[in-house]
Chain A
Protein backbone atom coordinates (compact mmCIF):
# COMPACT_ATOMS: atom_id res chain seq x y z
CA UNK A 1 0.00 0.00 0.00
CA UNK A 2 0.96 3.66 -0.16
CA UNK A 3 3.73 5.02 2.02
CA UNK A 4 1.80 7.01 4.56
CA UNK A 5 1.50 5.66 8.04
CA UNK A 6 -1.45 3.40 8.71
CA UNK A 7 -2.95 4.81 11.84
CA UNK A 8 -4.66 2.40 14.11
CA UNK A 9 -7.86 4.27 14.65
CA UNK A 10 -8.98 1.91 17.28
CA UNK A 11 -6.13 1.98 19.79
CA UNK A 12 -8.00 3.79 22.55
CA UNK A 13 -10.93 1.49 21.98
CA UNK A 14 -8.73 -1.55 22.29
CA UNK A 15 -7.54 -0.51 25.71
CA UNK A 16 -10.92 0.64 26.88
CA UNK A 17 -13.09 -2.29 25.98
CA UNK A 18 -10.74 -5.24 25.80
CA UNK A 19 -11.29 -5.50 29.51
CA UNK A 20 -15.04 -5.68 28.94
CA UNK A 21 -15.01 -8.13 26.07
CA UNK A 22 -12.11 -9.52 24.07
CA UNK A 23 -13.17 -10.62 20.58
CA UNK A 24 -10.01 -12.71 20.35
CA UNK A 25 -11.53 -14.96 23.00
CA UNK A 26 -14.26 -16.06 20.57
CA UNK A 27 -12.69 -15.83 17.12
CA UNK A 28 -11.23 -19.33 17.30
CA UNK A 29 -14.80 -20.63 17.68
CA UNK A 30 -15.59 -19.50 14.13
CA UNK A 31 -13.54 -21.53 11.65
CA UNK A 32 -14.37 -19.36 8.64
CA UNK A 33 -12.84 -16.27 10.23
CA UNK A 34 -9.34 -17.73 10.13
CA UNK A 35 -8.65 -17.37 6.43
CA UNK A 36 -6.97 -15.01 4.05
CA UNK A 37 -8.72 -13.42 1.10
CA UNK A 38 -6.55 -12.10 -1.75
CA UNK A 39 -3.59 -12.62 0.53
CA UNK A 40 -5.03 -10.54 3.38
CA UNK A 41 -6.58 -11.70 6.64
CA UNK A 42 -10.33 -11.83 6.18
CA UNK A 43 -12.24 -8.97 7.82
CA UNK A 44 -15.80 -10.18 7.63
CA UNK A 45 -18.02 -7.10 7.89
CA UNK A 46 -21.12 -8.42 6.13
CA UNK A 47 -22.85 -9.85 9.17
CA UNK A 48 -26.18 -8.16 8.50
CA UNK A 49 -26.41 -10.24 5.32
CA UNK A 50 -25.28 -13.45 6.96
CA UNK A 51 -23.12 -14.15 9.97
CA UNK A 52 -20.47 -16.84 10.44
CA UNK A 53 -21.12 -20.09 12.27
CA UNK A 54 -19.35 -21.35 15.39
CA UNK A 55 -17.90 -24.86 15.47
CA UNK A 56 -20.43 -25.84 18.13
CA UNK A 57 -23.23 -25.42 15.58
CA UNK A 58 -21.37 -27.45 12.96
CA UNK A 59 -20.71 -30.15 15.55
CA UNK A 60 -24.38 -30.35 16.53
CA UNK A 61 -25.40 -30.73 12.90
CA UNK A 62 -22.69 -33.28 12.23
CA UNK A 63 -23.80 -35.25 15.26
CA UNK A 64 -27.29 -35.40 13.80
CA UNK A 65 -26.04 -36.49 10.40
CA UNK A 66 -23.61 -39.08 11.71
CA UNK A 67 -25.68 -40.50 14.59
CA UNK A 68 -29.36 -39.54 14.67
CA UNK A 69 -30.15 -38.92 11.01
CA UNK A 70 -33.76 -40.00 10.41
CA UNK A 71 -37.18 -38.40 10.25
CA UNK A 72 -38.94 -36.76 13.19
CA UNK A 73 -42.32 -37.41 14.79
CA UNK A 74 -42.98 -40.69 13.01
CA UNK A 75 -40.61 -43.52 13.68
CA UNK A 76 -40.61 -45.69 16.78
CA UNK A 77 -37.02 -46.73 16.17
CA UNK A 78 -34.14 -45.34 18.19
CA UNK A 79 -32.79 -42.94 15.57
CA UNK A 80 -36.13 -41.32 14.92
CA UNK A 81 -36.68 -40.99 18.62
CA UNK A 82 -33.31 -39.29 19.09
CA UNK A 83 -33.91 -37.03 16.10
CA UNK A 84 -37.33 -36.03 17.43
CA UNK A 85 -35.94 -35.34 20.88
CA UNK A 86 -33.12 -33.21 19.48
CA UNK A 87 -35.47 -31.29 17.18
CA UNK A 88 -37.96 -30.60 19.96
CA UNK A 89 -35.15 -29.76 22.38
CA UNK A 90 -34.05 -27.05 19.94
CA UNK A 91 -37.57 -25.65 20.04
CA UNK A 92 -37.46 -25.56 23.83
CA UNK A 93 -34.08 -23.85 23.76
CA UNK A 94 -35.47 -21.15 21.48
CA UNK A 95 -38.62 -20.75 23.59
CA UNK A 96 -36.66 -20.35 26.77
CA UNK A 97 -34.13 -17.97 25.19
CA UNK A 98 -36.86 -15.69 23.86
CA UNK A 99 -39.02 -15.78 26.94
CA UNK A 100 -41.89 -17.46 25.11
CA UNK A 101 -44.80 -18.64 27.26
CA UNK A 102 -44.46 -22.14 25.81
CA UNK A 103 -42.43 -24.02 23.24
CA UNK A 104 -45.69 -24.39 21.34
CA UNK A 105 -45.28 -20.75 20.35
CA UNK A 106 -42.10 -21.49 18.37
CA UNK A 107 -42.75 -22.37 14.73
CA UNK A 108 -39.73 -23.44 12.71
CA UNK A 109 -39.73 -21.87 9.25
CA UNK A 110 -37.12 -21.28 6.54
CA UNK A 111 -36.38 -17.79 7.74
CA UNK A 112 -37.86 -14.38 8.51
CA UNK A 113 -39.20 -14.12 4.97
CA UNK A 114 -41.25 -17.28 5.24
CA UNK A 115 -42.44 -16.30 8.69
CA UNK A 116 -43.80 -12.97 7.44
CA UNK A 117 -45.47 -14.65 4.47
CA UNK A 118 -47.04 -17.16 6.85
CA UNK A 119 -48.50 -14.45 9.06
CA UNK A 120 -49.59 -12.40 6.05
CA UNK A 121 -51.58 -15.27 4.56
CA UNK A 122 -52.70 -17.29 7.56
CA UNK A 123 -53.35 -14.49 10.00
CA UNK A 124 -53.85 -11.23 8.13
CA UNK A 125 -55.50 -12.23 4.85
CA UNK A 126 -58.68 -13.70 6.44
CA UNK A 127 -59.05 -10.50 8.50
CA UNK A 128 -58.67 -8.11 5.58
CA UNK A 129 -61.56 -6.61 3.66
CA UNK A 130 -61.47 -3.92 0.98
CA UNK A 131 -60.56 -0.62 2.60
CA UNK A 132 -58.81 -2.21 5.57
CA UNK A 133 -55.22 -1.25 6.18
CA UNK A 134 -51.86 -2.89 6.80
CA UNK A 135 -49.35 -0.56 8.40
CA UNK A 136 -45.59 -0.86 7.83
CA UNK A 137 -42.71 1.64 7.96
CA UNK A 138 -40.48 3.17 5.32
CA UNK A 139 -37.50 1.33 6.83
CA UNK A 140 -38.61 -2.18 6.01
CA UNK A 141 -36.68 -4.88 4.21
CA UNK A 142 -38.46 -6.06 1.05
CA UNK A 143 -39.43 -9.19 3.03
CA UNK A 144 -41.63 -7.01 5.23
CA UNK A 145 -43.10 -5.09 2.27
CA UNK A 146 -43.83 -7.49 -0.56
CA UNK A 147 -45.85 -10.14 1.37
CA UNK A 148 -48.14 -7.34 2.59
CA UNK A 149 -48.47 -5.95 -0.92
CA UNK A 150 -49.51 -9.40 -2.08
CA UNK A 151 -52.18 -9.86 0.60
CA UNK A 152 -53.42 -6.32 0.01
CA UNK A 153 -53.71 -7.05 -3.69
CA UNK A 154 -55.65 -10.22 -2.98
CA UNK A 155 -58.02 -8.69 -0.42
CA UNK A 156 -58.46 -5.09 -1.53
CA UNK A 157 -56.76 -3.81 1.61
CA UNK A 158 -54.44 -0.82 1.56
CA UNK A 159 -50.78 -0.68 2.51
CA UNK A 160 -49.93 2.38 4.61
CA UNK A 161 -46.34 3.42 5.28
CA UNK A 162 -45.01 5.34 8.28
CA UNK A 163 -42.46 7.87 7.00
CA UNK A 164 -38.93 8.26 8.38
CA UNK A 165 -36.97 11.43 9.09
CA UNK A 166 -33.59 12.50 7.66
CA UNK A 167 -31.77 10.54 10.33
CA UNK A 168 -33.57 7.37 9.30
CA UNK A 169 -35.83 7.21 12.34
CA UNK A 170 -39.51 6.33 12.52
CA UNK A 171 -41.60 9.15 13.96
CA UNK A 172 -43.88 7.92 16.73
CA UNK A 173 -46.38 10.73 16.15
CA UNK A 174 -46.70 9.77 12.48
CA UNK A 175 -47.01 6.14 13.45
CA UNK A 176 -49.73 6.90 15.94
CA UNK A 177 -51.60 9.04 13.40
CA UNK A 178 -51.51 6.22 10.83
CA UNK A 179 -52.70 3.59 13.32
CA UNK A 180 -56.31 4.04 12.29
CA UNK A 181 -59.65 2.35 12.81
CA UNK A 182 -59.08 0.29 9.66
CA UNK A 183 -55.58 -0.93 10.63
CA UNK A 184 -55.72 -4.72 10.92
CA UNK A 185 -52.03 -5.37 11.53
CA UNK A 186 -48.89 -3.31 12.01
CA UNK A 187 -45.57 -4.86 10.91
CA UNK A 188 -42.19 -3.27 11.47
CA UNK A 189 -38.53 -4.01 11.92
CA UNK A 190 -36.88 -4.19 15.32
CA UNK A 191 -33.65 -2.92 13.74
CA UNK A 192 -33.31 -1.65 10.16
CA UNK A 193 -31.08 -3.85 8.00
CA UNK A 194 -30.08 -0.99 5.71
CA UNK A 195 -29.31 1.69 8.30
CA UNK A 196 -29.08 -0.03 11.68
CA UNK A 197 -31.79 2.21 13.18
CA UNK A 198 -33.33 0.74 16.33
CA UNK A 199 -37.08 1.25 16.22
CA UNK A 200 -39.03 2.14 19.37
CA UNK A 201 -40.74 -1.24 19.21
CA UNK A 202 -42.06 -1.32 22.76
CA UNK A 203 -43.80 2.03 22.30
CA UNK A 204 -45.04 0.91 18.90
CA UNK A 205 -46.53 -2.37 20.12
CA UNK A 206 -48.08 -0.57 23.10
CA UNK A 207 -49.77 2.05 20.91
CA UNK A 208 -51.08 -0.71 18.66
CA UNK A 209 -52.32 -2.77 21.59
CA UNK A 210 -54.25 0.22 22.95
CA UNK A 211 -56.14 0.24 19.66
CA UNK A 212 -56.49 -3.52 19.45
CA UNK A 213 -54.13 -3.79 16.49
CA UNK A 214 -51.97 -6.94 16.33
CA UNK A 215 -48.27 -6.43 15.62
CA UNK A 216 -45.49 -8.31 13.88
CA UNK A 217 -41.88 -7.40 14.61
CA UNK A 218 -39.17 -8.38 12.15
CA UNK A 219 -36.29 -9.22 14.46
CA UNK A 220 -33.84 -10.51 11.84
CA UNK A 221 -31.30 -7.76 12.63
CA UNK A 222 -31.92 -7.70 16.38
CA UNK A 223 -31.37 -11.30 17.51
CA UNK A 224 -27.69 -11.37 16.44
CA UNK A 225 -26.96 -8.51 18.84
CA UNK A 226 -28.33 -9.80 22.10
CA UNK A 227 -31.18 -11.66 23.76
CA UNK A 228 -34.70 -10.44 23.04
CA UNK A 229 -37.31 -10.72 25.76
CA UNK A 230 -40.67 -11.30 24.14
CA UNK A 231 -42.53 -10.84 27.43
CA UNK A 232 -41.22 -7.30 27.46
CA UNK A 233 -41.70 -6.48 23.77
CA UNK A 234 -45.47 -6.73 23.64
CA UNK A 235 -45.86 -7.86 20.04
CA UNK A 236 -48.07 -10.66 18.73
CA UNK A 237 -45.55 -12.11 16.26
CA UNK A 238 -41.77 -11.98 16.20
CA UNK A 239 -39.75 -13.38 13.30
CA UNK A 240 -36.08 -13.95 12.53
CA UNK A 241 -33.61 -16.01 10.50
CA UNK A 242 -31.08 -18.46 11.90
CA UNK A 243 -28.27 -17.64 9.50
CA UNK A 244 -27.95 -14.05 10.73
CA UNK A 245 -27.62 -15.18 14.35
CA UNK A 246 -24.71 -17.58 13.85
CA UNK A 247 -26.94 -20.54 13.03
CA UNK A 248 -27.35 -22.48 9.80
CA UNK A 249 -29.04 -21.26 6.63
CA UNK A 250 -32.55 -22.46 5.79
CA UNK A 251 -33.97 -22.19 9.28
CA UNK A 252 -35.75 -19.42 11.12
CA UNK A 253 -38.41 -18.82 13.71
CA UNK A 254 -41.91 -17.50 13.80
CA UNK A 255 -42.90 -16.79 17.36
CA UNK A 256 -46.57 -16.09 17.85
CA UNK A 257 -48.78 -15.77 20.90
CA UNK A 258 -50.39 -19.15 21.35
CA UNK A 259 -53.95 -17.80 21.16
CA UNK A 260 -53.09 -16.07 17.88
CA UNK A 261 -51.50 -19.20 16.41
CA UNK A 262 -54.41 -21.35 17.55
CA UNK A 263 -56.84 -19.17 15.64
CA UNK A 264 -54.91 -19.41 12.39
CA UNK A 265 -55.43 -21.61 9.36
CA UNK A 266 -52.46 -23.65 8.10
CA UNK A 267 -50.09 -21.97 5.67
CA UNK A 268 -49.14 -25.11 3.78
CA UNK A 269 -50.73 -28.52 3.81
CA UNK A 270 -48.94 -31.83 3.99
CA UNK A 271 -47.61 -34.44 6.32
CA UNK A 272 -46.89 -33.82 9.99
CA UNK A 273 -49.39 -30.97 10.29
CA UNK A 274 -52.55 -33.05 10.44
CA UNK A 275 -54.43 -34.78 13.22
CA UNK A 276 -56.38 -36.95 10.79
CA UNK A 277 -56.96 -36.97 7.07
CA UNK A 278 -59.86 -38.33 5.09
CA UNK A 279 -61.21 -37.29 1.72
CA UNK A 280 -64.16 -35.71 3.50
CA UNK A 281 -61.99 -33.44 5.55
CA UNK A 282 -58.85 -33.02 7.54
CA UNK A 283 -58.29 -31.99 11.14
CA UNK A 284 -55.15 -30.04 11.75
CA UNK A 285 -52.74 -30.44 14.60
CA UNK A 286 -52.29 -27.77 17.21
CA UNK A 287 -49.56 -25.15 16.80
CA UNK A 288 -46.68 -25.24 16.17
CA UNK A 289 -47.02 -28.46 14.13
CA UNK A 290 -49.98 -27.08 12.21
CA UNK A 291 -47.53 -24.73 10.50
CA UNK A 292 -44.75 -27.22 9.87
CA UNK A 293 -45.99 -29.24 6.92
CA UNK A 294 -43.63 -31.86 5.58
CA UNK A 295 -40.26 -32.93 6.89
CA UNK A 296 -38.72 -29.86 8.52
CA UNK A 297 -35.12 -28.68 8.35
CA UNK A 298 -34.17 -30.98 11.22
CA UNK A 299 -30.41 -30.57 11.20
CA UNK A 300 -30.77 -26.82 10.80
CA UNK A 301 -33.21 -26.53 13.71
CA UNK A 302 -30.78 -28.50 15.87
CA UNK A 303 -28.00 -26.21 14.63
CA UNK A 304 -30.02 -23.13 15.52
CA UNK A 305 -30.56 -24.51 19.01
CA UNK A 306 -26.80 -24.94 19.30
CA UNK A 307 -26.26 -21.35 18.13
CA UNK A 308 -28.54 -20.14 20.92
CA UNK A 309 -26.66 -22.27 23.44
CA UNK A 310 -23.46 -20.68 22.17
CA UNK A 311 -24.89 -17.16 22.56
CA UNK A 312 -26.07 -17.98 26.07
CA UNK A 313 -22.46 -18.69 26.95
CA UNK A 314 -21.47 -15.09 26.19
CA UNK A 315 -21.75 -12.16 28.58
CA UNK A 316 -24.58 -10.39 26.77
CA UNK A 317 -24.08 -7.08 28.50
CA UNK A 318 -20.35 -7.00 27.76
CA UNK A 319 -20.99 -7.96 24.15
CA UNK A 320 -23.51 -5.15 23.81
CA UNK A 321 -21.10 -2.56 25.22
CA UNK A 322 -18.30 -3.86 23.04
CA UNK A 323 -20.37 -3.81 19.86
CA UNK A 324 -21.57 -0.28 20.60
CA UNK A 325 -18.00 0.93 21.11
CA UNK A 326 -16.81 -0.80 17.94
CA UNK A 327 -19.61 0.74 15.87
CA UNK A 328 -18.93 4.22 17.26
CA UNK A 329 -15.23 3.92 16.47
CA UNK A 330 -15.90 2.60 12.98
CA UNK A 331 -18.42 5.37 12.32
CA UNK A 332 -16.00 8.07 13.45
CA UNK A 333 -13.10 6.65 11.46
CA UNK A 334 -15.05 6.11 8.25
CA UNK A 335 -16.88 9.45 8.27
CA UNK A 336 -13.56 11.25 8.88
CA UNK A 337 -12.43 10.19 5.39
CA UNK A 338 -12.81 12.79 2.64
CA UNK A 339 -16.12 12.71 0.77
CA UNK A 340 -17.71 10.04 2.96
CA UNK A 341 -21.25 10.56 4.17
CA UNK A 342 -23.11 8.41 6.66
CA UNK A 343 -26.55 7.28 5.47
CA UNK A 344 -28.81 6.97 8.48
CA UNK A 345 -27.68 8.73 11.62
CA UNK A 346 -30.31 7.55 14.07
CA UNK A 347 -29.62 8.29 17.73
CA UNK A 348 -29.94 4.60 18.42
CA UNK A 349 -28.14 2.45 15.89
CA UNK A 350 -26.89 -1.13 16.15
CA UNK A 351 -24.58 -3.23 14.03
CA UNK A 352 -24.71 -1.31 10.77
CA UNK A 353 -22.63 1.43 9.17
CA UNK A 354 -24.17 2.50 5.87
CA UNK A 355 -22.33 5.14 3.87
CA UNK A 356 -21.66 6.67 0.47
CA UNK A 357 -18.51 8.24 -0.94
CA UNK A 358 -18.53 11.22 -3.33
CA UNK A 359 -17.96 10.17 -6.91
CA UNK A 360 -17.50 6.50 -6.09
CA UNK A 361 -20.22 3.92 -6.53
CA UNK A 362 -20.62 1.50 -3.60
CA UNK A 363 -19.83 -1.46 -5.86
CA UNK A 364 -16.45 -0.05 -6.68
CA UNK A 365 -15.85 0.48 -2.96
CA UNK A 366 -16.80 -3.14 -2.27
CA UNK A 367 -14.50 -4.48 -5.01
CA UNK A 368 -11.53 -2.51 -3.72
CA UNK A 369 -12.24 -3.50 -0.11
CA UNK A 370 -12.49 -7.13 -1.16
CA UNK A 371 -8.92 -6.91 -2.42
CA UNK A 372 -8.02 -5.85 1.13
CA UNK A 373 -9.74 -8.93 2.51
CA UNK A 374 -12.61 -6.77 3.78
CA UNK A 375 -16.08 -8.15 3.05
CA UNK A 376 -18.86 -5.58 2.99
CA UNK A 377 -22.16 -5.33 1.16
CA UNK A 378 -22.83 -2.81 -1.58
CA UNK A 379 -26.27 -2.27 -3.03
CA UNK A 380 -29.79 -1.46 -1.97
CA UNK A 381 -29.82 -4.11 0.79
CA UNK A 382 -33.31 -5.24 -0.24
CA UNK A 383 -34.60 -1.89 0.99
CA UNK A 384 -35.08 0.17 -2.16
CA UNK A 385 -37.59 2.56 -0.53
CA UNK A 386 -34.92 3.47 2.04
CA UNK A 387 -32.41 4.18 -0.75
CA UNK A 388 -34.96 6.37 -2.53
CA UNK A 389 -35.70 8.24 0.69
CA UNK A 390 -32.03 9.18 0.94
CA UNK A 391 -31.66 9.87 -2.78
CA UNK A 392 -28.98 7.25 -3.37
CA UNK A 393 -29.15 4.21 -5.66
CA UNK A 394 -27.12 2.16 -3.23
CA UNK A 395 -24.90 2.38 -0.16
CA UNK A 396 -21.82 0.61 1.09
CA UNK A 397 -22.66 -1.23 4.29
CA UNK A 398 -20.24 -2.53 6.88
CA UNK A 399 -22.03 -4.60 9.49
CA UNK A 400 -20.56 -5.97 12.67
CA UNK A 401 -20.77 -8.92 15.03
CA UNK A 402 -19.17 -9.46 18.42
CA UNK A 403 -16.26 -11.32 16.81
CA UNK A 404 -15.17 -8.31 14.80
CA UNK A 405 -12.08 -6.49 16.01
CA UNK A 406 -10.70 -2.95 16.06
CA UNK A 407 -8.01 -4.27 13.69
CA UNK A 408 -10.72 -5.09 11.17
CA UNK A 409 -11.98 -1.53 11.41
CA UNK A 410 -8.42 -0.48 10.56
CA UNK A 411 -8.46 -2.75 7.50
CA UNK A 412 -11.77 -1.20 6.44
CA UNK A 413 -10.35 2.30 6.78
CA UNK A 414 -7.16 1.36 4.91
CA UNK A 415 -9.21 -0.03 2.04
CA UNK A 416 -11.34 3.09 1.94
CA UNK A 417 -8.22 5.26 1.86
CA UNK A 418 -7.05 3.40 -1.21
CA UNK A 419 -10.50 3.84 -2.75
CA UNK A 420 -10.19 7.60 -2.24
CA UNK A 421 -6.74 7.52 -3.87
CA UNK A 422 -7.82 5.48 -6.89
CA UNK A 423 -10.79 7.71 -7.58
CA UNK A 424 -9.04 10.99 -6.69
Chain B
Protein backbone atom coordinates (compact mmCIF):
# COMPACT_ATOMS: atom_id res chain seq x y z
CA UNK B 1 0.00 0.00 0.00
CA UNK B 2 3.04 2.29 0.39
CA UNK B 3 3.07 2.84 -3.35
CA UNK B 4 -0.09 4.93 -3.05
CA UNK B 5 2.02 7.65 -1.48
CA UNK B 6 4.50 7.25 -4.35
CA UNK B 7 1.65 7.80 -6.76
CA UNK B 8 -0.13 10.59 -4.94
CA UNK B 9 2.88 12.68 -3.95
CA UNK B 10 2.35 16.13 -2.49
CA UNK B 11 3.46 17.73 -5.75
CA UNK B 12 0.78 15.82 -7.65
CA UNK B 13 -1.93 16.64 -5.16
CA UNK B 14 -0.94 20.34 -5.15
CA UNK B 15 -0.95 20.61 -8.92
CA UNK B 16 -4.28 18.80 -9.02
CA UNK B 17 -5.81 21.19 -6.53
CA UNK B 18 -4.17 24.32 -7.95
CA UNK B 19 -3.21 23.61 -11.54
CA UNK B 20 -0.72 26.04 -13.04
CA UNK B 21 -1.35 27.81 -16.35
CA UNK B 22 -4.94 26.63 -16.31
CA UNK B 23 -6.45 29.06 -18.79
CA UNK B 24 -7.42 29.52 -22.41
CA UNK B 25 -4.99 31.35 -24.71
CA UNK B 26 -6.34 33.39 -27.56
CA UNK B 27 -4.71 35.33 -30.34
CA UNK B 28 -3.47 34.81 -33.83
CA UNK B 29 -0.19 33.18 -32.91
CA UNK B 30 -1.86 30.65 -30.66
CA UNK B 31 -2.09 26.98 -31.57
CA UNK B 32 -4.19 24.54 -29.66
CA UNK B 33 -5.12 20.89 -29.74
CA UNK B 34 -7.72 18.83 -27.93
CA UNK B 35 -7.17 15.40 -26.48
CA UNK B 36 -9.40 12.94 -24.75
CA UNK B 37 -9.42 9.51 -23.28
CA UNK B 38 -12.76 8.03 -24.37
CA UNK B 39 -12.44 5.17 -21.90
CA UNK B 40 -12.54 7.43 -18.86
CA UNK B 41 -13.74 10.76 -20.22
CA UNK B 42 -10.60 12.75 -19.38
CA UNK B 43 -10.44 15.83 -21.59
CA UNK B 44 -7.65 18.32 -22.11
CA UNK B 45 -6.97 21.22 -24.45
CA UNK B 46 -3.40 22.50 -24.73
CA UNK B 47 -2.69 26.03 -25.98
CA UNK B 48 0.69 27.37 -27.03
CA UNK B 49 2.09 30.64 -28.26
CA UNK B 50 5.43 30.71 -30.04
CA UNK B 51 7.99 33.49 -30.05
CA UNK B 52 10.64 32.64 -32.60
CA UNK B 53 11.52 29.02 -32.06
CA UNK B 54 10.60 29.13 -28.39
CA UNK B 55 7.32 28.41 -26.65
CA UNK B 56 6.58 31.70 -24.95
CA UNK B 57 3.41 30.47 -23.32
CA UNK B 58 1.82 27.05 -22.80
CA UNK B 59 -1.50 26.66 -21.01
CA UNK B 60 -4.20 24.04 -20.68
CA UNK B 61 -7.80 23.46 -19.71
CA UNK B 62 -9.65 20.29 -19.05
CA UNK B 63 -11.14 17.83 -16.64
CA UNK B 64 -9.80 14.56 -15.40
CA UNK B 65 -8.20 12.64 -12.61
CA UNK B 66 -5.43 13.97 -10.36
CA UNK B 67 -2.77 12.29 -12.47
CA UNK B 68 -3.95 13.81 -15.74
CA UNK B 69 -4.45 17.28 -14.25
CA UNK B 70 -1.13 17.30 -12.42
CA UNK B 71 0.72 15.97 -15.43
CA UNK B 72 -0.74 18.71 -17.63
CA UNK B 73 0.05 21.38 -15.06
CA UNK B 74 3.64 20.18 -14.55
CA UNK B 75 4.06 19.94 -18.30
CA UNK B 76 3.09 23.55 -18.92
CA UNK B 77 5.68 24.64 -16.35
CA UNK B 78 8.37 22.36 -17.75
CA UNK B 79 8.08 23.45 -21.38
CA UNK B 80 7.58 27.18 -20.88
CA UNK B 81 10.36 29.13 -22.63
CA UNK B 82 11.99 26.06 -24.16
CA UNK B 83 12.82 25.68 -27.83
CA UNK B 84 10.69 23.31 -29.84
CA UNK B 85 13.58 20.91 -30.16
CA UNK B 86 14.06 20.83 -26.39
CA UNK B 87 10.35 20.26 -25.90
CA UNK B 88 10.26 17.39 -28.37
CA UNK B 89 13.20 15.79 -26.58
CA UNK B 90 11.50 16.19 -23.20
CA UNK B 91 8.26 14.85 -24.57
CA UNK B 92 9.94 11.70 -25.86
CA UNK B 93 11.84 11.23 -22.61
CA UNK B 94 8.69 11.68 -20.53
CA UNK B 95 6.67 9.16 -22.51
CA UNK B 96 9.57 6.68 -22.32
CA UNK B 97 9.76 7.18 -18.58
CA UNK B 98 6.04 6.57 -18.16
CA UNK B 99 6.31 3.33 -20.10
CA UNK B 100 9.06 2.21 -17.76
CA UNK B 101 11.73 2.58 -20.42
CA UNK B 102 15.08 4.18 -19.83
CA UNK B 103 14.97 7.96 -19.71
CA UNK B 104 17.14 10.82 -18.45
CA UNK B 105 16.35 12.58 -15.18
CA UNK B 106 13.17 14.57 -15.63
CA UNK B 107 13.62 17.06 -12.80
CA UNK B 108 10.31 18.15 -11.27
CA UNK B 109 8.46 15.74 -13.55
CA UNK B 110 9.95 12.87 -11.55
CA UNK B 111 7.00 13.42 -9.22
CA UNK B 112 5.02 11.44 -11.77
CA UNK B 113 7.42 8.49 -11.67
CA UNK B 114 5.05 6.52 -9.43
CA UNK B 115 2.58 6.21 -12.32
CA UNK B 116 4.85 3.58 -13.88
CA UNK B 117 3.66 1.08 -11.28
CA UNK B 118 0.04 1.64 -12.32
CA UNK B 119 -0.16 0.52 -15.95
CA UNK B 120 -3.86 1.41 -16.17
CA UNK B 121 -3.04 5.01 -15.29
CA UNK B 122 -0.14 5.68 -17.69
CA UNK B 123 -2.53 7.07 -20.30
CA UNK B 124 -3.79 9.57 -17.75
CA UNK B 125 -0.26 10.94 -17.37
CA UNK B 126 0.61 11.01 -21.07
CA UNK B 127 -2.65 12.49 -22.44
CA UNK B 128 -1.58 16.14 -22.06
CA UNK B 129 1.81 15.39 -23.60
CA UNK B 130 0.34 13.74 -26.69
CA UNK B 131 -1.98 16.71 -26.96
CA UNK B 132 0.96 19.13 -26.71
CA UNK B 133 2.60 17.19 -29.51
CA UNK B 134 -0.51 17.64 -31.65
CA UNK B 135 -0.54 21.38 -30.90
CA UNK B 136 3.11 21.63 -31.93
CA UNK B 137 2.44 19.75 -35.14
CA UNK B 138 -0.70 21.83 -35.66
CA UNK B 139 -2.79 18.73 -36.14
CA UNK B 140 -6.48 19.43 -36.41
CA UNK B 141 -7.86 16.05 -35.47
CA UNK B 142 -8.39 15.60 -31.73
CA UNK B 143 -5.94 13.32 -29.97
CA UNK B 144 -7.34 10.14 -28.50
CA UNK B 145 -5.64 7.67 -26.22
CA UNK B 146 -7.46 4.88 -28.02
CA UNK B 147 -6.14 5.22 -31.54
Partners in one complex: yes
Chain A positions near chain B (C-beta within 8 angstroms): 1, 38-39, 359-364, 367-368, 371-372, 378-380, 384, 387, 393-394, 418, 422-423
What are 30 sample pairs from A and B whose C-beta atoms fall under 8 A apart? A38-B1, A360-B66, A361-B64, A361-B65, A362-B65, A363-B40, A363-B65, A363-B121, A364-B65, A364-B67, A367-B4, A367-B118, A367-B121, A368-B8, A371-B3, A372-B1, A378-B40, A379-B40, A379-B41, A380-B40, A393-B41, A393-B42, A393-B43, A393-B63, A394-B40, A422-B4, A422-B13, A423-B8, A423-B13, A423-B66
Given A38-B1, A368-B8, 6 other A-B contacts at CB below 8 A?
Answer: A367-B4, A367-B118, A380-B40, A384-B41, A394-B40, A418-B4
Closest B residue to A373 using CB positions? B1
**How many inter-chain contacts with C-beta < 8 Å in the A-B complex?**
54
B135 nearest CB across to chain A (Å): 22
Chain B positions near chain A (C-beta within 8 angstroms): 1, 3-4, 7-8, 13, 17, 39-43, 63-67, 69, 118, 120-121, 124
How far is A368 from B13 in the complex, measured between Cα atoms in Å?
14
Which B residues touch A418, using CB under 8 A?
4
7 closest A-B pairs by beta carbon, nearest first, are A361-B65, A363-B65, A393-B41, A364-B66, A364-B65, A379-B40, A394-B41
How far is A253 from B64 in the complex, measured between Cα atoms in Å?
36
How far is A387 from B69 in the complex, measured between Cα atoms in Å?
20
How far is A422 from B39 in the complex, measured between Cα atoms in Å?
25
How far is A378 from B68 in the complex, measured between Cα atoms in Å?
15
User: Are the CB atoms of B66 and A361 closer together than 8 Å?
Assistant: yes
Residue among B7, B41, B66 with the highest chain A CB neighbour number at 10 A: B41
Which B residues touch A1, using CB under 8 A?
1
How far is A394 from B39 in the complex, measured between Cα atoms in Å?
10
How far is A378 from B37 in the complex, measured between Cα atoms in Å?
13
How far is A339 from B65 in the complex, measured between Cα atoms in Å?
16
A142 nearest CB across to chain B (Å): 11
B121 nearest CB across to chain A (Å): 6
Which A residues touch B7, using CB under 8 A?
367
How far is A367 from B123 in the complex, measured between Cα atoms in Å?
14
Which A residues touch B124, using CB under 8 A?
363
User: Are the CB atoms of A379 and B65 closer together than 8 Å?
Assistant: no
Which A residues touch B3, using CB under 8 A?
371
With A367-B121, A371-B1, A422-B8 as known contacts, state yes or no: A359 contacts B39, CB within 8 Å. no
How far is A361 from B17 in the complex, measured between Cα atoms in Å?
11
How far is A423 from B41 in the complex, measured between Cα atoms in Å?
21
How far is A139 from B27 in the complex, measured between Cα atoms in Å?
41
Which B residues touch A422, using CB under 8 A?
4, 8, 13
